[in-house]
Chains A and B, each alone.
Chain A
Amino acid sequence: MPLLEASGISKIFGKLTALDGAALTVGENEFHGLIGPNGSGKSTLMKCVAGAEVPTSGKVSFVNTDITAFTPTERARAGMSLKFQITSVLPSLTLYDNILLALQAQSSLLDLVFSRTRRALHDQAMTMLTQFRLADRAHDAAANLSHGQQQWLEIAMALAGKPRLLLLDEPTGGMSLEERRVTGELLQPIKQHCSLVIVEHDLDFIRDICDRLTVLDQGKVLASGTIAEIQANNSVQEIYLRRA
């Protein structure tokens, strides 16, 4: 049974059909790349899965539960996490507090009011900051980070709730080559406990870390399979890889 199964997803914005019966299936501990030309509906499909958009029609199942009607909060509590395309760390808070904010999301009200989970979460926060190479800046405001570091902080925050599925929308956007390489390294270890769906323009990056790919074109799935299968697929080469 796959971890995530989205099928027949359509999304219509007024006269624009962004998605037209798209589908996405992701297994446990699988890194799944979602690619396609600009405007093919990658980000919209991601948002429909995460709950940021409500699909016009279609069904999303996660861990054998129909979550189509779940709010983002309910999806997060079911074990799904999203990193937005636009970095949305909280700039005036320190890195440490950004991470703590993510870590304590499911603490009870009384635990929060009396700061009871602070001590237990401290080690986790420092471990995550160390893992994402941000520990030495723990007490700087997030606004002072470079763009790449903000993206890492976002990924760390998205992983804080120990999700079973992480959705990453263009994690390497605006990063230098070196930062992209590091991002790949940072993502590898999470495979042991988490699946990944990743929307990305950088095909080299996708090729390096993903197990399977889904190619979208004009809101429909053009092909889905392993990297080798996709590379051998003629129609994909026509619309996408040739141009890249």
Chain B
Amino acid sequence: MGAAEQAVARLSEGPDVVTGEDEPAASVPARRPTAGRKVLPIVEGLVLLTALLLPLVLQDYLTVFATRVVILALFALSFDLVWGYAGIMSFGQALFFGAAGYGVALLARDLNVTSILLILPAGMLIGLTAALLLGGFLLLGRYPSSVIFVSLGTLTGSYAADRLARGWYYLGGQNGIPSIPSMTLGSIDISEGPVYYYLALGILVVVYLLCRFLVRSQFGLALAGLRENEQRIAFFGYKVQHLKAIVFAVGGTIAGLAGSLYAFHEGFVWPNMLGVVFSTQVVLYVLFGGSGTLIGAVIGTVIIEGVSFWLSDNYREVWPIILGVLLLLVIMFRPLGLISFLLGERERVGHFGKTPKEKRNAAP
């Protein structure tokens, strides 16, 4: 937020703020800033409410589109956790998304496994394993790896997986694996439409809440330290490489979950799902919506996918250019993403862990 807006926000916090920054505020009692702290739950509530009501007003083909967006939002959360919160520049997040997609497609094709109770855990396990392998290699050195090393390493991993899938007959080569059957729960088919939509939405909400719990915990504070100054926190005794590998693995697990949902929803998997296209797309979702806020990742996905859908319908030839310019404008003028129109810096950073009672009482 700009200096002027910050000043305005500070003024609106209440009279005790006008003490100014340089004054030794010896007589001012300890206080918690209160203004603007309630925006986030309102935004989250509104987004959830809209998402819940959407299938009631949308035509069927749009519900299918909305389901895809919800699954991609889940994928965006995985990248946001890794990059927006822990500062690990993963340019290859699609590797975990696609690997899980391919894995569950093979389970369905070759072993006739379609039960949701096996498919989703399998997708998560594949994402987790891939992230542990790649993360172990890229992040677990004796000294912390450089940002360039990690970003190029993840990018290369994703690109290599894409090429591998294209050339491998067993994986269907360029065409991927088509006609994946429906996911099942007992004898019920979970096919695309409102049922799949609410399934994906339910999973998104649960994962969102788990991520929210994580980033608002003391662990989230360690992540903030990691993101802002990893060298400094190593000198406090943090095992920086371990922290990174853990977050990377959690991100991989979520991406795997999203990838397996995506594969069964679309009914086929193809090499792009592993490669640079999806890896870059998820970076854009998060940048556009606002990295380092979970709701920003969701909003970014919804807006980019929604706008592309609308533009491609109405401006068949030039829509990628319009979208590109739009993205550039946001990234240039709102580096903290669209969510920064609503959310102040203080609320974005937030607090960590529960405040002990006596302190809350002491606050005015």
Contact = CB atoms under 8 A, between A and B. Distances in A.
Interface of A: 50-52, 71-73, 75-77, 81-82, 84, 88, 90-94, 97, 100-102, 104-107, 109, 111-119, 122, 126, 135-139, 141, 144, 146, 157, 160-161
A135 B359 CA distance: 12
Given A114-B217, A118-B354, 10 more contacts: A72-B231, A72-B235, A76-B236, A77-B237, A90-B232, A92-B228, A100-B218, A111-B218, A115-B218, A118-B356
B31 A157 contact: no
A91 B22 CA distance: 16
Nearest to B243: A109
Interface stretch (B50-58, B66-74, B219-227, B253-261): B219-227
A73 B354 CA distance: 27
Interface string B1-35: 00000000000000000000110011111111100
Contacts of B238: 73, 105
Given A146-B22, A161-B237, A113 B224 contact: no
Nearest to A69: B142
Nearest to A167: B235
Contacts of B214: 113
Contacts of B351: 94, 97
Contacts of A135: 30
Given A92-B228, A115-B353, A136-B28, A76 B222 contact: no
A101 B30 contact: no
A90 B225 contact: yes
B123 to A, nearest CB: 23
Contacts of B26: 136
Interface of chain B: mostly helix, strand, loop or mixed: loop
B232 A84 contact: yes
Interface of B: 21-22, 25-33, 142-143, 214, 217-219, 221-222, 224-225, 228-229, 231-240, 246, 345-346, 349, 351-354, 356, 359
B221 A100 contact: yes
What 6 pairs across the A-B complex have the smallest Cβ distances?
A76-B237, A115-B353, A118-B353, A105-B236, A112-B219, A105-B237
Contacts of B225: 90, 101
B222 A122 contact: no
Interface centre among B28, B229, B232, B359 (most CB of A within 10 A): B232
Contacts, number: 123
Nearest to A92: B349
B352 A115 contact: yes
A93 B352 CA distance: 10
A109 B235 contact: no
A101 B234 contact: no
B264 to A, nearest CB: 31
A145 B345 CA distance: 16
A71 B234 CA distance: 9
B237 A93 contact: no
Contacts of A82: 235
A73 B240 contact: yes
B345 A92 contact: yes
A101 B236 contact: yes
Contacts of B232: 84, 88, 90
A32 B68 CA distance: 64
Nearest to A84: B232
A115 B33 CA distance: 22
A136 B364 CA distance: 13
B228 A90 contact: yes
Contacts of B222: 101, 104, 112
A139 B31 contact: yes
Contact of B229 (A88, A107, A146): A88
Contact of A76 (B32, B234, B246, B346): B234
A102 B232 CA distance: 10
B202 to A, nearest CB: 23
Contacts of A93: 221, 224, 228, 349
Contact of A81 (B235, B246, B353): B235
20 contacts: A52-B235, A71-B143, A72-B231, A76-B235, A84-B235, A91-B228, A97-B221, A97-B224, A97-B351, A97-B352, A100-B221, A101-B236, A105-B233, A106-B237, A109-B246, A113-B214, A118-B356, A136-B29, A139-B32, A161-B237
Contacts of A107: 218
A122 B237 contact: no
A97 B33 CA distance: 14
A166 to B, nearest CB: 11
A82 B29 CA distance: 31
A81 B237 CA distance: 9
Contacts of A138: 30
A117 B218 contact: yes
A104 to B, nearest CB: 5
